[in-house]
Amino acid sequence: MDETELPGTVPVTFPSSGETLQIPAFWDPLEPADVAAPGTLTVAGSVLGYAGGRVTAQVTVIDPGDTAGDETPPVVTLTPSGSAGSAGWFRSDVRVRVAGADDRGGRVTIEAAVDGGTPVTAGPVRYTDVTVTGDGQHTVVATATDRAGNESDDASLAVRIDRVAPASTGTVDGARRSVTISATDATSGLARIEYAIDTGGVWTPYEGRPVKAPDTQRHQVFFRATDVAGNVETTRSAVLPADISGPLTGNVAPLGTAAASYTAGWNAVGALNDGLDPANPSQAQLWGTWSGTRPASQWAQYTWARPIRLTSAEIKFWRDQPKGTGDGVAEPDAWVLQYWDGAAWVDVAEPSGYGTSTTAFNTVTFAPVTTDRLRATLAANGNGTTFSAVAATEWRVFADDPGVGPVVPVTVQAETRCLGRTGFIAVRVTNDHDAPIDVRIETPYGIRSFRDVEPGRVVSQSLAARTAQIPAGEVTVEATGTVEGEQVTSEVVAAYQGTTCG
């Protein structure tokens, strides 16, 4: 009596499978007078997916106090809802609807608890909602008691939540031009790692082996991890440097890594060596330095994996304000090219002249210099009080370099040690090659040789100085092995500090 809410679902059995499912039903509303006294009535409505039109059902109205002969406990169902993931996991907090259905149609008292916590009681109700939060595996347990005091058995539901994506890292081996990818996930576990080479590359399952560059060019490897719950991390990337061991001619700027004193958030320092020269560049296709505080000088720089013989460079500047405003972006008053000599920045010798055009490349030739770093230092234009920013669409650097021969890769470490009043030179050589090598260690205190050192193995040698005082010095290691079918000998020099023993 006095119950106008009808069940929201009806059981439907499918003949083809024999499976019975609860299908949403939409009934015409009842008026309080319809259920004011015990009896029966017919209700009409529709069932989701039923093409036959309207359906009817018989409803029995009973007195809430009439519990005589009621010995049947209610049936409890637990239905989770949330952002469903994979393999039964949710990727959000979960709402569990705890519903109690009594054979006499009345409301029940529901008691529910999460992970053995303090139970929550609601009633008289048809259902109540319980919220499950926090990553991990949880259990919801509920019971229902009808008006006659019949209590259901415990109904339980396992709820698994993982809201956090896995985290991956990429470790670049510059010498081998490869990247090794690893990932971890704290809750549901790691499902897979994928990678793609360069923008637009095909996503490929990562199988644990290092991803190698497909050719001699510079490449960007994108990678991402997915956990069992279906969380996909934000794509990460690693850069594989270009193979610049061979002879180099033409523009070598794309082979270097660009850096700058400052880059506006809407610009990109990588625009300097992206190989593009658009007529009407977007802000993302510029290197620019606009900010609230604009200094009198800015710089941009390229760094290469090895020293290269450079002969000229050219820059195309960009502006949105004329000179003399002290605002916006204007071409610089002047600029100069500098190279790193191993200790300091030095102006290039015999420059042909530094133009500042914003409509054409400003080419500068200079006396050839071999360096692994080149910098353009720009003097900003101003109005006597403030300075404009500077910007460029592209900066090319040209080389005429003979290249370097093949190398047998080794890692050499040298240090001084003491045993009482006697000094020693301790040397460690690691074979970084993919084949056996011969190693020769030469120090001021002796020479040692090792044959057929296997890949990844370390040879160690301590050579006694036979004196308490060892001055700072160097160790020379020769590594001989086969590279691309040819026998190659490489020389590596490692310095050690001086020490006094005793």
Find out whether 78 and 128 touch, Cβ atoms under 8 Å: no
| Beta-bridge mates of residue 448 | 441
Find out whether 147 and 166 touch, Cβ atoms under 8 Å: no
The pair of structure tokens assigned to 335 is: 């600029």
Q: Which residue has the tokens 């036979």?
A: 466
Find out whether 92 and 161 touch, Cβ atoms under 8 Å: yes
Between CA 105 and CA 38 the distance in angstroms is 13
Between CA 316 and CA 486 the distance in angstroms is 44
CATH topology of domain 410-500: Immunoglobulin-like (2.60.40)
**b (16+ CB within 10 A) / e for 172-211:** beeeebbbbbebebebbebbebbbbbeeeeeeeebeeeeb
Q: How many helices (H) does the chain have, and how many strands (E)? A: 0, 36
The predicted pLDDT at position 457 comes to: 96
Find out whether 411 and 439 touch, Cβ atoms under 8 Å: no
Find out whether 194 and 203 touch, Cβ atoms under 8 Å: yes
139-184 pLDDT, tens digit each: 999 999 998 899 999 999 999 999 999 999 999 998 789 999 999 9
The predicted pLDDT at position 409 comes to: 93
The predicted pLDDT at position 369 comes to: 97
Pick the CATH number of 75-161 from 2.30.40.10, 3.30.565.10, 3.40.50.10890, 2.60.40.10: 2.60.40.10
Q: DSSP states of 116-170 as a string?
A: T---EEEEEESEEEEEE-SSEEEEEEEEEE-TT--BPPPEEEEEEE--S--EEEE
Amino acid at 337: L
Give the residue extent of every domain in the chain. 9-61, 75-161, 167-240, 248-401, 410-500
The predicted pLDDT at position 36 comes to: 83
CATH superfamily name and code, 248-401: Galactose-binding domain-like (2.60.120.260)
**b (16+ CB within 10 A) / e for 92-124:** eebebebbbbbebebbbbbbbbbeeeeeeebbe
Between CA 340 and CA 334 the distance in angstroms is 20
The predicted pLDDT at position 84 comes to: 95
Between CA 177 and CA 214 the distance in angstroms is 10
The predicted pLDDT at position 2 comes to: 65
Tell the burial category of 83 from Cβ atoms under 10 Å away from its Cβ (0-12, 13-18, 19+): middle
Beta strand 248-251 with 391-401: parallel, antiparallel or unpaired? Answer: antiparallel
Within this chain, domains 75-161 and 410-500 share the same CATH topology: yes
Find out whether 316 and 357 touch, Cβ atoms under 8 Å: yes
The predicted pLDDT at position 32 comes to: 86
Between CA 310 and CA 50 the distance in angstroms is 78
CATH class of 167-240: mainly beta
The predicted pLDDT at position 21 comes to: 82
- What is the SS3 assignment for 283? helix
- How many CA atoms lie within 13 Å of 160's alpha carbon, on the beta-carbon side? 11
For the chain, which residues score pLDDT lower than 50? none
Between CA 154 and CA 173 the distance in angstroms is 57
* DSSP annotation of 485: T
Among candidate residues 395, 379, 386, the one with its CA nearest the CA of residue 299:
379
| Beta-bridge mates of residue 250 | 399
Q: Please calculate the CA angle 499-500-502 and round it to the nearest 5 degrees.
A: 140
The predicted pLDDT at position 274 comes to: 92
Between CA 396 and CA 302 the distance in angstroms is 10
Q: From the CB of residue 17, how many other CB atoms can be counted at a distance below 10 Å?
A: 8
The dihedrals phi and psi of 21, each to the nearest 5 degrees, come to -125, 150
Indicate the length of the chain as a whole number: 502
The predicted pLDDT at position 83 comes to: 96
Among candidate residues 49, 46, 39, 42, the one with its CA nearest the CA of residue 14:
49
pTM: 0.62
Do you find a cis peptide bond into 124, omega within 30 degrees of 0? yes
